[in-house]
Amino acid sequence: MLRSVNLIHRVSMRHECLVQRYHLTNPGCSMKILMVLTSHDQLGDTGKKTGFWLEEFAAPYYAFKDAGADITLVSPAGGQPPLDPKSDEPDAQTAETDRFRNDPAAQQALANTGLLADVRADDFDAVFYPGGHGPLWDLAEDKHSIALIEAFDRSNKPHGFVCHAPGVLRHVLAADGKPLIQHREVTGFTNAEEAAVGLTDVVPFLIEDEFQRLGGYYSKVADWQVHVVVDGKLVTGQNPASSAAVAEKLLKMLG
C-alpha cells in the first residue's frame, strides 16, 4: 500500500511540475535548461586553436543558475569542450568569467559534459548554444544537433543561440521542410565583425551571408554592441556582448 501511495505522489508531483514549471509556483519544480557546446578546436587550416567563447558560456550559465534552473551541459564528444584561447585573454574577461574561474563546481560540470547524442528535447524546457568559432565546424553539421533543434521547434520550446552559434541553424528545417530561419527574424556574428577579427577567409561560412541566402530576415547593429532578436521561441544574439541578453529572453519565455 505504501509503495502505491508513493507512486501516486510521484506521478502527482510530476504532473504539477509539468503544469506549473513555467510559472515557478511550485518550489519542488525547476526549469530544465540544456546548454550545447562545441567539441571542435581547430581554426580551419591556420594551425591555431578555437572552441567555445568563455563569456558566451559563463554569462548565460549564471543567468540560468541564479534563476534556479537545473542546467545540463553536453557536447558532441562529451567531456571537456575546448576553450577558444582568445576568450581567455585579459581584455575578454567579465564579471561572469571571473565568477566561473572561482567556481570549482561549474568548472567540474564543464569538464564532464554529457554526450549530445544522448539527450532528448522532451527532457528539457529550453536549449541554449554558446558561440565561439567552433560550432561553425561541428555543430552546424551535426545530425544530433540538427534533430535536437528541430525537436525544440516542433515542441514550441525556447531555443537560443549567440554570436557564432546561430550558424548551427543552417541545416535545420521547419515542420514544412523549409529552412527554419526562412522568413524569420534572426541575427548573428556580422561580416564586419568577422573581418575585424581577421577570419573572413578562414571560417567555413559567414553567418550574415548564409542567413540571407536561406531567406532569413537578418538584422544587425554596430560592431560589438548588444543586439538580440526574438521570433516566436527562437532567440538569436549578434555577438559576445549579447550573451546575457539572450539568456534573459529565454528566462522570460519560461516565466
Give 233-245 pLDDT, tens digit per residue.
Answer: 999 999 999 999 9
Cα 89 vs. chain centroid, distance in angstroms? Answer: 22
Q: What confidence category does residue 6 fall into, taking pLDDT thresholds of 50, 70 and 90? A: very low
Sheet holding 228-231, edge to edge: 114-115, 70-75, 32-36, 126-129, 159-162, 234-237, 228-231
Is residue 85 scored above 70 in pLDDT?
yes
- Please identify which residue in the block is written with the cell numbers 521542410: 177
The answer to whether residues 35 and 139 touch, using CB atoms and an 8 Å cutoff, is no
Give the tens place of pLDDT for each residue, 150-184.
999 999 999 999 999 999 999 999 999 999 999 99
Distance CA 25, CA 135 (A): 36
Is residue 84 over pLDDT 50?
Answer: yes
Q: Are 237 and 169 in contact (CB under 8 A)?
A: no
Range of the domain at 8: 1-30
> Do 96 and 165 lie in a common domain?
yes
What residue has cell string 581567455?
Answer: 88
d(Cα 148, Cα 250) in Å, to the nearest integer? Answer: 17
Whole-model pTM above 0.95? no
Percent of the chain with pLDDT over 90: 88
Question: In this predicted structure, which of 3-17, 162-176, 180-194, 198-212 has the lowest mean pLDDT?
Answer: 3-17
Q: How many domains does the chain have?
A: 2
Query: Which residues does residue 230 pair with via DSSP β-bridges, in sequence order?
Result: 235
The pLDDT tens digits of the residues spanning 96-136 come to 999 999 999 999 999 999 999 999 999 999 999 999 999 99
Nearest to 169 by CA among 198, 196, 221, 205: 205
Per-residue model confidence (pLDDT) at position 30:
87
Q: In this structure, are 21 and 36 located in the same domain?
A: no
Note whether 95 and 1 are same-domain residues.
no
Say whether both 44 and 5 belong to one domain: no
Co-location of 12 and 105 in the same domain: no
Residue 17: what pLDDT? 52
Q: How far apart are CA 240 and CA 180, in angstroms?
A: 23
